[in-house]
Structure 1
């Protein structure tokens, strides 16, 4: 994919398209961790292949796990769990799932594992999981920084037990502990204390996938227990990435057209399923059937007043739709987005306003009012979802130039091809 600026294409009329999406990043990386810790081989069916998931696969290979490609699938063999032949250095890029899910696995390795990533990754919240792993018996050298880079001195096992954590910065801090917990000698009991944990559907996904792999998991409010025990392999089927459907389904609202995403699951833990209600509230007609989920634009795009705490990853596209709406929007519950790939609240307000919009940061969100937009350069801050937001704006605004469109490869490498095909360009 080219690294130069990308001219976001305007829609010449109502879109009418079916867009087949690749697998869920969140499910793929959870499946890879569970497969690496299983007692038998696992076939991960139709995983996403993107920067985040390829980084996870390579990190596991570095720890001695065999990850092989077979057609559209991945075959994972846990490995012999022998001592590492030499110290390992793992690159997590800018992937929150890799930087939060991998340290507990590294603590179970027998050897020294240094974990590092992109410059922005060194600013993302990691202290809670570092402190939690130490409380559970791990030895970690982070120079007192509480962030990347740090070195895990694995001993081939981890005691586990009870730990209290403030996971208000990211639900991944809890998920990372839970996913590896069946291999801890005592399992784990994780209690959250602090402001509400964001992205609750992702925690439900972690719990469900653990149970599907044979783990015994109990939940009670802000308390999660995982018993020690074997994880089974077999087959792990990855659903289409529903969060990556946001911009395509949103195009139906912007253009007054129709977009269908096939394979939409009838029952899912993916946060992207909330698009049904959000897009309906913004003026779309949403229907599910054997062909998938279809959104039909009505020709009118409404503003939205919504708490997006559980679906923060949808915020950039929802904010772009709000900037094109005919009435004001207020998006709240998303203060944690300041610690994502970039400070998404500041970035969205800055870039929408640079195109003539009226977006204001709130302590925990954004307020966006209607205002005519014009073209210009839309900075993306190495954030894949900023690319998607810019593309949505470009549907209705001539001359939107998207900086470093290649960063979208983090979760959707084929984005520009899918986007232009949808538009018939």
Structure 2
């Protein structure tokens, strides 16, 4: 007997990873069968090097930077570690007074964890700057912290867009404050590239992180865009590739796919933001109609004002555990995420929501729906149809 086809999965976790776009698949597979180490001097090596350098130029054009400022890495986590540790080590070596690292309390763990490691292992004085109830950096607190002793600040790291609630940060204002004292600024723009306008030269940061699998490219490849004038100590030593900042044989096929995805995402960003933002607004409006006490976390829904990522809908459901909601939706073929972490099987409240002023219970009752280039109106309809019964079951489980 023929089994019916399974229902299609409704995938709304694009902030975790988004499907590869055909252009990236084609660019990557075109080079998988080719031999050639980009560091080799023979013809095969030179062909591979040409692919790498053309990809570097493509990414530079998309991000408004110089090709020589694009340093290829294995992804966002490595790029964040390279920026945070590399800048700190270099700045402190130049002046031992530079021990302070300023960042926000809502950063991704790819920034928070290396910053904390610097505090534990390298003598850094770490300051986590506060945010408001919409997860926007308190600029007055930043200015006060810098001006208290600017000569002691090694670097400032502020993400472009928050990965949980989607709030955009005032990166250019941060750069202006830091620039008064010659302090370098790093931004994790992993969630922002292709979703909102991102320009390296325009915004004035000194280092910027991006990764392939968030923009429709392959896993395991990313970049740190870093000003050539900025001294940066490497994490990895070896063959001296990538300006001696990041040694290791370059993954030519992955870099080609990465560049194709970045180019496409940036080219189509305005129309993408408009389409996905409209779907996101529809999702939020209709979910709150079905579950009246549901509420949105983060900045208001107005993509024109560029306060929030267009594809992010982070919703709280009082009386529920986020993990229960997630699994009940997953059983219906709807995939999303929670902002909370899990330790030894026990849900932990989201550090982002706690920093926004939520209590621990509020910080556990949320779901993050993130839309992307494959999201359709049918996906939104499926969530709206399922959310009422799912919330009822999740609440009943807590009684």
Please give the range of the TM-score, normalised by the shorter of the 2 chains: under 0.3
State the TM-score, normalizing by the size of structure 1: 0.24
Q: Which has the higher strand share?
A: 1
State the TM-score, normalizing by the size of structure 2: 0.26
